Amino acid sequence: MSSNILKAIKNISSNETHNMRSYFEEYAGPQIKTVRQQIKHYMKDAISGSYKSATTKKPSERYEDVFSYLGSKIKPPDMIIKNGDALVIKTIKTSKSSLILSNSPPKDQLKWNDPWIIKNCRGIDGGQWNSRDIFYVTGWIEKSKIKYLYFVQGKCYASKEMVYNKKIAELRKNIENYLSPEGLQPNSTIGLGKLSNMDPLGITTLEIKVIWKIQNPIKVFSEAYGYDKKQDFTLIALMLKEKFDAHPKKDIDAIISDQKIKLKDVKIKNPNKPENKIDAKLITISQ
């Protein structure tokens, strides 16, 4: 069984339950308590189309035909559709909060050689892949209800990896320039630095942590869509036009024919050259 983002949106449109408390009591059980767990499981059910079967099948049975990877606790992504897109799930406390990406920079695509992903992720679908499109899914829950879900394709949202890598390399060089006259040696790390022998006894280590944040898509793409907090539930999805057009025709037709779903052509800033505009598709549901 194959799936994709358009199928997930269609399934969400058909599902009338956006109250997380009642949803998990009815379908998935009360053991799923944290907001992040709730959104992640909700998305797994949306992508696999398994809302109604959530209490009759085990999670492994519901998801094994749809997903090739269901994430780790500390490394992105959170899930990968078999032979399809990767998803990073983020929850926020207020409607316009920034997204915390931890120690991994934003990604326009998920690359096989990305140092921030784990070995099991590289081995998906036989391990014969170079890159996957990635979607950031932001969920805001207020009083147990999903107020909005925002899907945004990485190529609409993040610059190329070389942009971030260049800045990291420059920071590392500055750190090393400081360390050399101090007689300190940096250890190998994918972060900014890990320094040993920080005291005369050689027993103290300093780790220079990295925390990446990215502005909420509600703010970044406010020109394309103005979010109305008065709505009970809103879904927003933004992807490149060429990405939308590459989906199976039956899935595109299902989006177009659904009266709850609005589809619009928009132009957004190119994340690598903001002075240029790129063609994108905006999909929205407001209830």
Residue 177 or 32, more confident: 177
Count CB neighbours of 109 within 10 A: 18
Distance set, CA 133 to CA 27, 99, 110, 255 (Å): 30, 19, 6, 20
Q: Give the pLDDT confidence of 99-113 residue by residue, as tens digits.
A: 999 888 999 999 999
Q: Are residues 135 and 194 in the same domain?
A: no
Secondary structure (3-state) at 57? coil
Task: Look at the chain and count its residues.
Answer: 287
Q: Are residues 224 and 175 in the same domain?
A: no
Q: Are residues 145 and 268 in the same domain?
A: yes
Least confident of 150-154, 163-167, 216-220: 163-167
Q: Give the pLDDT confidence of 248-282 residue by residue, as tens digits.
A: 999 999 999 999 999 999 999 999 999 999 999 99
Query: What is the pLDDT, as a whole number, of residue 19?
Result: 86
Q: Are residues 129 and 225 in the same domain?
A: yes
The answer to whether 281 and 251 are in contact (CB under 8 A) is no
Q: Are residues 188 and 104 in the same domain?
A: no
pLDDT of 37 strictly over 90: no
The answer to whether 47 and 80 are in contact (CB under 8 A) is no
Q: Are residues 240 and 151 in the same domain?
A: yes
Domain range spanning residue 177?
A: 164-208
Nearest-angstrom CA–CA distance, 236 and 225: 8
Q: Are residues 250 and 270 in the same domain?
A: yes
pLDDT of 57 strictly over 70: no
Q: Are residues 66 and 190 in the same domain?
A: no
The answer to whether 139 and 90 are in contact (CB under 8 A) is yes
Residue 110 or 73, more confident: 110
The answer to whether 175 and 192 are in contact (CB under 8 A) is yes
Q: Are residues 54 and 123 in the same domain?
A: yes
Q: Are residues 66 and 87 in the same domain?
A: yes
Domain total in the chain? 2
Radius of gyration (C-alpha) of the chain in whole angstroms: 21
Nearest-angstrom CA–CA distance, 3 and 169: 38
Output the six-digit token pair for 86. 């990767």
Residue 61 or 267, more confident: 267
Q: Are residues 47 and 168 in the same domain?
A: no
DSSP-assigned letters across all residues of 179-230: HHHHT--EEP-SSSEEE---STTS---EEE---EEE--HHHHTTTT----TT
pTM of the model: 0.91
Confidence of residue 62 (pLDDT cuts 50, 70, 90): confident
Secondary structure (3-state) at 95? coil
- Stretch 242-250: mean pLDDT, rounded? 97
Secondary structure (3-state) at 239? strand
